[in-house]
Structure 1
Amino acid sequence: MRQLLVRIDDALVAVENLFLIVAHAAIAVLVIAGVALRYVFNDPLTWGEELIIGLFTWMVFVAAASALRAHMHIRIDAMAPLWRRPALRWMNLATVIVGLAILGVMTWASLEQLAQEWVVELPMLGVSKAWFLAAMPVGMVLAAVHVLRLWVEQGAAGVFRGEVESLTEGGEA
């Protein structure tokens, strides 16, 4: 089971990274093309802004999951040293369980929103607004998979540790 989780997570990380590269490049090209078409040729790219916003939305949620996997989220480290004490180590487990619960609730709420917005069509692209809103539940599920893998490999204390801790303790950043 552990090897399956590791393989799935590794595949998801590869897809996330490729998606982030392609989406970032597409946004850059669309912005440059939009500016050139609007100001040089006086013919604006009417659907470009909607697509840029959609791609950026997807980038935010996929990158949030990717950042969690790489221990790149900002956190307040005032409590972390306390949780290393043997009597308070249970707090690490509580943090992981609460974190997974929050991801679950956010996934559920975003799926509810997605169902309501499925019938709303974007005016310029002519596609359902749900295609853009799907970024949140996908990002939450990706984050949950990453949390599970980190939990299995590094224990509860290793899931939400910061980048500096990962580097100073010899962990992977």
Structure 2
Amino acid sequence: MRWLTAVTSRLSRWAMYIACACLAGLLCIVVYGVVMRYVFNDAPPYVEQVALLLVISVAMFGAAAGVRDAGHIGLDSLVAMLSPKLRFWCDIAVQVLSVAFGVALLAGSVEMGLSTYASTIPTLGLSEAFRYLPVLLGGILFAVFSIEHLIARFAGTEVVRSWH
């Protein structure tokens, strides 16, 4: 379990670093686009596509780090009223559903990436499949982090958060 925690903790930190870098890049590209459009009356055509890729990346990597650190939305007040045994099984159900969601993201992004591989993003010249890369990586991270929570729950331990 220690090696898994070491790997997932590092993956979670890198996911958050990537999300933060993409958020900073998003801020820069949007400000650049606004200045170019309204000050110089010369809107670059690629700004919207780059911003869209960065938004997807921020969402997927940030959400994955949130899954690792149990920062996702929950009904804690309702679950706290349950018996310890029911709380255990509610947590197991949440983690199993999170694994299923990660696998669904992975499968859907692979399917969409394969179906759009031949097309290109209009102003970037990249394959449309590139749009689905953050979703694919996010799906893998969702599943891995949720599996770590399942293993820890059955072992009777807690997953130590990457961000204290």
TM-score range, shorter chain: 0.7 to 0.9
* Alpha-carbon shift at residue 53 of structure 1 (Å): 0.5
Distance 1:89 1:18 in 2: 32
Gaps in structure 2 of 5+ consecutive residues: none
For residues 158 and 80 of structure 1, the distance between their equivalents in structure 2, rounded to whole angstroms, comes to 19
Counterpart contact for 1:57–1:135, Cα < 8 Å: yes
Is contact 1:34–1:48 with CA below 8 Å preserved after alignment? yes
Instruction: Pick closer, same or farther for the CA change 1:83–1:137 going to 2, 3 Å.
Output: farther
Q: Measure how far apart 1:142 and its partner are.
A: 0.8
The percent of aligned pairs where both chains have the same amino acid is 22
Shift of 1:118: 1.1
Aligned counterparts, 1:154-173, within 5 A? 154-155=153-154
Could you tell me how far apart the structure 1 residues matched to 2:154 and 2:81 are?
17
Give the letter aligned to residue 28 of structure 1.
L
Relative distance call for 1:127 and 1:157 in structure 2 (3 A) is farther
Stretches of structure 1 lacking an aligned partner (at least 5 in a row): 160-171
Distance in 2, Cα, partners of 1:18 & 1:41 = 33
State the TM-score, normalized to the length of structure 2.
Answer: 0.83
In 1, the alpha carbon distance for the partners of 2:129 and 2:84 equals 46
Distance 1:136 1:102 in 2: 11
Q: TM-score, normalised by structure 1?
A: 0.79
Residues 2-151 of structure 1: matches in 2 within 5 Å? 2-77=1-76, 79-81=78-80, 83-86=82-85, 89-151=88-150
